[in-house]
Structures are given as structure tokens and as C-alpha cells.
Structure 1
């Protein structure tokens, strides 16, 4: 994919936004980093500075700028979008045909209600989000092409009482110390799931279920990540921490925004496996609800395995959804 900006261009962008917002602090300027080495702080700073720009220039002028494919806030994979709190799309440089439409109930390819979660997060002061979304190719985005959806980390912020903005970066645009495509925690998760699926094929279901459910076993790592196993009816077959639920069908379980998590995970595995984002309680955050990036693979025609990492493990900040229970 073509990269449409340089480090200097993005620095200039952020400097311009800061100055137009009447702020000269150096911390915000330092948030600008090149796309191929994007950081969480850089993404948050980009959106916060754009919010300040919008507050300074006014809604009409800001939305016009955010809508430009060649505007100062649009740089290939890094761009801004804007919504009101009723879910109406106000600006998007690659989705001009959808501007003005109600998107509150739009879901990603695996069923996550992305706009509803973004609006909720922005209404509570802003923060990080995660979802699946196609990357722009040749200046266009095709939401009807399911094979193009890939994981994306976003940041959203309110502009005023009536609207909010957001931006995001794909895993391949994120800074990472590992040489792979994904952040280290995500790469480790994929490896865990791949090993679990292969183990199940080699050892058979009975041996695999016992090992997966063993908290001291091969599929619980030092950081507490683990794999779980379900059949295609949503019945839990093995889990190191939910052993009281083994044998129960969880297919109807819904997250706080209405997504049927286990059904969506199961359908992803049935389709051959891959990424999915869903909301799940985080035991490390007093079981507060948090977005989780999951990865699943089929073992055979009867069962599948999966694992996940919480958004906070990637952002390094508390990413629990405010007051959602």
C-alpha cells in the first residue's frame, strides 16, 4: 500500500493543529511520529490535537477539512472521521457517500457495534477502542469486502456536546520491538492458539481438553494468557478459569452492547478462523468490561480453540469501558 506522508509532514500537521488551537506546548508536538512507527501516545495526541483544532476553527470548517482526501488530517492509513452522538457520520475522507447517514448500529465483519462503542467512549471523555476495518486502497474503502477487514486500534475524543472524532492505526502501522506484523502480545496469542489447535489434532480431544483446562499446563503462559475450546453449538469444552461452565452452551451470551460474543467467535472459527474483537470482563481490572482482541482457529469439524488479549495490554493504559457492567 502506498504511504502518503512523511515524518515531517505529520509533524507539521500536529504543529499546525496546536497553533490553531492556541496551544504551544511541546508535549503535543512530540506526539507526532511516522506512520510506520506509530505509538499509542502519537495516535491519542493526533486526535486530541484535531479536537482542539475543531473547537478553534468551528464545526463547519473542521468537518470540511476532515473530509478532504488531500487535507492536512488525511495521510493514507491515518485519517480522521467525525460523528454526532446520535450516530450520524459527519465527515470521512474515504466514505463520502455515507456522510449524513445513521451509522449507530453499524457492526464490523464479526458483529462488533463499532460506532456505538466509539460514541460511548467519546461521551465519557474519550479513549482507546479496537475493531476490525478495511484499510483504504487507492483512496477507497470497501466495507462490503469481508476479506479486507483487519484489526485496528483507534482513539476517540469529544469535540463538544454534540459530536466526536476518531482515528486509528492498523496493527501493521504500529511500533513494535518484534520483527513480525503484530504487537508482541498479539503475536504471542496467535502462537498460543496455533499450538493449541495443532495439539488437539495430534493428541485428540480428550487429552487436549484436559491440558487446556489445566492452569499449570502448556496453554497457560507466564502472563496468564490461555486458550479455551468450544464446539460449534457454543458449548464450552475446556477452559482453565471457567471450569464450572464446561459442558454449558454459552451461545446466547451477549456483551454490554448487544454483541453475541460466543456466537460470533464460533462463526469466525467455522469460517476458517482469524481475528475478532469483542467485549469481555477483565479480571485484572476488577472484571470491568473491556474490548478484547481475539484469535480463533478450527481444530476439526467438531470443535475450535481461541484466545485473546485485552486492549489495555496493547495501549499500556486502562482501557476498561466506563461504568459498563
Structure 2
């Protein structure tokens, strides 16, 4: 094992400098928006409609900002945005160490990861508010989910360079990891690192501001252990210190091709029929044999449940991996943070489907047949019982579903703008505006749509005959309940959904990445990006 502060790989050093600069720029952007809002709040006061408007405007300028609060010096929430977090107003957050710390410091703070009142593990980036007489009043923040916030920077970086990226707090908590199974773990205590070598690696990284080290661990695909090298340095800002590092495999050999074949467009309908039967048969076997025996069969690469074009995977209802034959290093590990390269939260979508009796969904996932390249996958989920579920899928390699991060950023901002408009003018007027093809909200394939949580169509400007109808049970041409999935996603707080749907620019049904947000307690607003290609 080599441990040295003098890094020899100059390309890794240059790449590390580049990525730290980009992360710093994003953090500075949030800090500047917090500062602008703090200046406005000293004049408007910390509560009321004007304060809420200031928070909404701030979030509209921070693409991956999840929420924003104003917290008084007494630790009480006085304003919140977006609308689904208004119920937090009046809450005393003094029980949170991070809240008390920000109020004690009275200066900009980037918190450690903690469980936020908004209902997720994230980070609060805060800025103090002072009165015109320079009296401390409290602070305002932007809360982020690190994997969402950092993805637009780190996913393209990883694809361009081949390096994996990690970000650690000095206490060992993982802020970000290219391998989603490691996000949220503590490298000093989590069982995933429970070897003498990995414990030494973890201590070395968190105890030293910079360095390089070699070690043996699972590769990014979690199908074998390899020799690896990590290089890291530190980013210190606003009461926070992160270790940011790059990792590469020292074994440059390619993954061997697997036996999972790729279908052609003409075979898709047949493959879907075969997929249904495959999953149904596996579910019957799982109920007969029980979880342990069935999962042993599913994980057997030479068994009946790994065929030429499909394999069975299985998870419990907490997102823990039970069967994953080509990535057996992930068995026993939680994948609740599993997202695809465009940002779709895969595991919550799996769980939604399983809890509602099963169904189809689209996402992007590594294809073991094609050297673990990311490809679109159409999967079928089937609950075995109330405790666990299985699934399988077919890859759709002729669809390039991996989208430009700038286009995704524009999509998120478009939906945020529409939600802000609805909050400003009210639901009734907003729906009229969204349906008006002469307004900017109906901009060809970038149009805004809206649905009630009961499935009622509220806004669909290029299909006005559908407005007012209930589409909760609508299935696209491949049996995916796309409206229901959009509703479930919005009810969870918002996010991405893939659909195959009519494109008004081409008059064809095409794959589309949609982004949806709750617009209130009973409806959602969304928009999408068409890929320009269909699945047939």
C-alpha cells in the first residue's frame, strides 16, 4: 500500500483541481443567492407573503435547490418554500444540532448531512440575516440533496475521464460517491468497509487533507474486486471541510462480455410478452420456495433465472438488494439512493410499483452484456408478498436516452417557473395560461402539463379534447402507467419520470424524460424533453 501526499499521477491532480473548481463555483452560486435573499429579508421581515416570495425567487435561481426556509434566532421556522413545506412554519428546529450551530455562528454555514424536516437527508447551505441596525435576526438557507446538486457536474466528469469521485466529511460521512451504494455511509463505521485494509484507507483519507493511496475494493460495477488508487485533497468553505477525491482502477482490463443479449426494435413486443411470463414464473417460484432459496436461484449465473436476454433481480421493501446476479457485490446493501444518469430515482419508482401490485417502468441502467454501458431499460416489477419484490427487464439499445445535463437543467427551471407562476396567479388562472397555445407555456414539445392527484387532466395544450378526463389508469403503448407514475413522483416531492408520449413537434409517440413538481396539495405541474426517437 502506498500512502503519500506527493501524488505522482499528474492527470489525476489536474482533473481533481478542475472538479473542485466546478464544485466551488456551484456552492458560490448558492451563497450569492442566499446573500441576495438575506438583504431583501432585512427589509421585508422574516415572515409573510413577501418573505415567501423572496424564497421562491431564490429557488428559481438555484436549479437543484430542493427547498428554502427562514429560521429565526430562536430556531423557529418563519417562512418556507416551495408550497408543500409551508406546514413547517411555526416549527421549532432547536433540536437539530445544525440549526443551533448556524444560529450560533451568525455567518455562512454549509452543514453536515442530516435528516431535514423537509423529509430527506440533505445539506443546509445558510446565510445570516441582519436588520438595518445590524442586529442578528436569524438565517435563510437552501437545502440540497447532494447527489442531485452535484450530478450535473460529476456525471459528465466521470463519463469524460473515467474517474470515480467521492466527497467525505471529516467525520467519515459520504456526501457523494459515484457508486450510489456508498452515498450516506460512514467510511469509518459502515460494514461495507469492514476489512483492516479499508478501515486504514478510510482513516487515512479523513485524517489527512491530501494524499494518495492504493487498496483493493469492489469496482464501480460491483461485479469483482480490483486494485484501485485514490487521490484526494480538501475543500474548506463556510464552516465545512470536505475531502474530495478521485478513484481509478489500476487493473485496466475490460469487463468480459456477459450472456445477456440485446433485442432489436422489431422484437420488442415479443420480448415484453416473454418478460411478463418470465417474471410471473419467477414470482410463483419465489412464493413456493421462500425468499432465501429463491434468491439463491436468482443469483445463480448458470441457473434458470439468468437467460440469454433477461435476469431476475430482487429487493426488500427497504430497498436492500436480495438478488442481482451480475452485481453480487451489492447483495445485502441498501439502494434507496439508486438514480440513473438523468436523475430518475429508480428505487422509489420500484417501490411505488411494488406497493401498488406491480407494473412496468422505464429507466437507464448498466447493461452487463455491453461492458456495463448505460442503456434504456423497460422493466416489470412484481411483489412477492408485502416484504419483498422481484423484477426483470429488457434493454432498448437503439434509444439514446442519456440527455445533456444543460437540457435537464433547463427542464427543471422551466417547471419551477411554471410552479412559481401558479403560486402567483392561482390555480385556475395558471391552468388557463398553461392551456393557451399562444402563451410561452405551450412551447411545442417543451409544453407545460398539469394533473390533479386524482388523475384529472388539468393542462394539456396540444390535446385539449383530453382536458377534464381522468387518466389515472392510462397506459402508454408498452403498458407503462405513466400518469400514475407522475402523480406518485409528485406526491413524493417531485422528480423525473420516463414516458412514451405524443410529441406535438413531430406528431409521433416518442420517449420523453418528464420532470414533475407538486403545485399544491392536490395537483402537479410538469414538462419534458423528447429524445426524438421511438421504441419501435
Q: What is the TM-score normalised by the length of structure 1?
A: 0.51
Partner of 1:73: 254
Among residues 429, 436, 449, which one is paired with 1:228 in the alignment? 449
Partner of 1:197: 419
* Number of matched pairs: 207
In 1, the alpha carbon distance for the partners of 2:364 and 2:507 equals: 23
Shift of 1:184: 2.2
Shift of 1:34: 7.6
Shift of 1:259: 1.1
Partner of 2:55: none
In 2, the alpha carbon distance for the partners of 1:73 and 1:234 equals: 47
In 2, the alpha carbon distance for the partners of 1:34 and 1:209 equals: 39
Among residues 245, 249, 270, which one is paired with 2:470 in the alignment? 249
Structure of greater relative contact order (alpha carbons < 8 Å, 6+ residues apart):
1
In 2, the alpha carbon distance for the partners of 1:260 and 1:239 equals: 17
1:201-249 deviations in Å (ceiling 9; x for gaps): 221111100111112213234x641111100011101121111111000
Taking structure 1 as reference, are residues 168 and 202 closer, same or farther at Cα in structure 2, changes over 3 Å only? same
1:150 aligns to 2:372 (yes or no): no
Relative to its length, the structure with more strand (as a share) is 2
Question: Which SS does the other structure have where 1:150 is aligned?
Answer: coil
Among residues 287, 291, 298, which one is paired with 2:518 in the alignment? 298
1:37 aligns to 2:218 (yes or no): no
Question: Which SS does the other structure have where 1:201 is aligned?
Answer: helix
In 1, the alpha carbon distance for the partners of 2:510 and 2:259 equals: 23
Larger radius of gyration: 2
In 1, the alpha carbon distance for the partners of 2:491 and 2:456 equals: 14
Question: Which SS does the other structure have where 1:191 is aligned?
Answer: helix
Partner of 2:175: none
Partner of 2:374: 168
Among residues 474, 479, 500, which one is paired with 1:258 in the alignment? 479
Shift of 1:81: 6.3
Shift of 1:310: 1.6
Runs of 5+ consecutive residues of structure 2 not aligned to the other structure: 1-8, 13-155, 162-220, 227-251, 264-273, 279-297, 316-326, 343-362, 377-402
In 2, the alpha carbon distance for the partners of 1:231 and 1:107 equals: 32
Q: CA RMSD in A?
A: 4.5
In 1, the alpha carbon distance for the partners of 2:365 and 2:10 equals: 21
Among residues 200, 206, 212, which one is paired with 2:428 in the alignment? 206
Partner of 2:76: none
Partner of 2:235: none
In 1, the alpha carbon distance for the partners of 2:339 and 2:366 equals: 20
Partner of 1:282: 503
Shift of 1:166: 5.6
Shift of 1:269: 0.5
Taking structure 1 as reference, are residues 247 and 255 closer, same or farther at Cα in structure 2, changes over 3 Å only? same
In 2, the alpha carbon distance for the partners of 1:98 and 1:7 equals: 40
Contact kept, 8 Å, 1:253 with 1:262, in 2: the verdict is yes
Question: Which SS does the other structure have where 1:256 is aligned?
Answer: coil
Shift of 1:146: 3.5
In 1, the alpha carbon distance for the partners of 2:314 and 2:408 equals: 22
